[in-house]
Amino acid sequence: MLRVLIVDDERLARQALRRLLANHPEVEIVGEAKSVADALQAIEQAEPQLVFLDIELGSSDGFDLLAALERPPTVVFVTAHAEYAVEAFAVNAVDYLLKPVEPERLAEAVSRAAHELAAAEPPPASTAKGVIALKTPKHTMLVRPPEIVALRADGDFTHVFVADQPALMMWRTLAHFEGLLSSPPFLRLGRSLIINRERLRHVETPSREVAHIVLHGMAEPLKLGRAAATRLRKALSAE
């Protein structure tokens, strides 16, 4: 999840941005602030990864906030004033949104921030022989590859399904994990899905267009489209 703080001195503006961000399941809003002092406290306590920051904050501004931080989080400026854009990018803001914020531009800003944060994070790595560290903003899970049931791409993120555990959302592409996991037993069934072949228990084909697969360690079956189902049938027939 992408931990987000909203900083704006106008309550209605904060509410509007919160409503727009509700359409992004990869975002977790960890707080709001209406002043530089409030924002400094919120950043220390909530440790957001991304701040949506207004520029004019009463007697101070968003640039004062960044200057007061030794290690500022990633920032997207949200303002009604276009004239600050040069200054905003000079302090390495990842985007500059003008009010009223359009949903499409907000989606671009979230995606851009996720890319930047992913590039700054060390990749999931082997911390011991046969163990992969899956690092999220809140914790790190150490798993052995056989414990991984499936991986599904979701835009700039990948959902990693570990046996009998809630799915982990990682800031990594599916191709990144494909490079970490051996094939076999891991089988890529398309642009958005990799499964652990050794955990495949049952295949249902209600029609030529879809298939449902049951994997040991996942409570719900996975639905495959026609192309993915065809790849799976070919892989099974080759065994």
Q: Using one digit for the tens of pLDDT, what is the confidence trace for 84-122?
A: 888 888 888 999 999 999 999 999 999 989 888 877 665
- pLDDT category, 198, cuts 50, 70, 90? very high
Residue 34 has phi, psi (to 5 degrees) of -115, 0
What pLDDT shows up at residue 237? 79
Q: Is the pTM of this model over 0.85?
A: no
Tell which residue, 6, 34, 33, has the closest CA to residue 19.
6
> Could you tell me which residues are beta bridge partners of residue 140?
135
Last residue of a domain, one of 120, 147, 182: 120
Higher-scoring residue by pLDDT: 238, 32: 32
What pLDDT shows up at residue 129? 47
Q: Which whole number is the average pLDDT over 197-210? A: 85
CA distance 97 to 78: 5
Task: Identify whether residues 106 and 27 lie together within a single domain.
Answer: yes
Query: What secondary structure, in 3-state letters, does the chain show?
Result: CEEEEEECCCHHHHHHHHHHHCCCCCEEEEEEECCHHHHHHHHHHHCCCEEEECCEECCEEHHHHHHCCCCCCEEEEEECCHHHHHHHHHCCCCEEEECCCCHHHHHHHHHHHHHHHHHHCCCCCEEECCEEEEECCCCEEEECHHHEEEEEEECCEEEEEECCCCCEEECCCHHHHHHHCCCCCEEECCCCEEEEHHHEEEEECCCCCCEEEEECCCCCCEEECHHHHHHHHHHHHCC
Task: Identify whether residues 110 and 137 lie together within a single domain.
Answer: no
Task: Identify whether residues 109 and 219 lie together within a single domain.
Answer: no
Place of tokens 């990749």: 123
Residue 146's CATH number: 2.40.50.40
State the amino acid at position 210 in one-letter form: V
Task: Identify whether residues 27 and 112 lie together within a single domain.
Answer: yes
Range of the domain at 90: 2-120
Task: Identify whether residues 12 and 114 lie together within a single domain.
Answer: yes
Number of domains into which the chain is organized: 2
Q: Using one digit for the tens of pLDDT, what is the confidence trace for 115-144?
A: 888 776 655 544 444 788 887 666 778 889
Task: Identify whether residues 6 and 116 lie together within a single domain.
Answer: yes
State the amino acid at position 217 in one-letter form: G
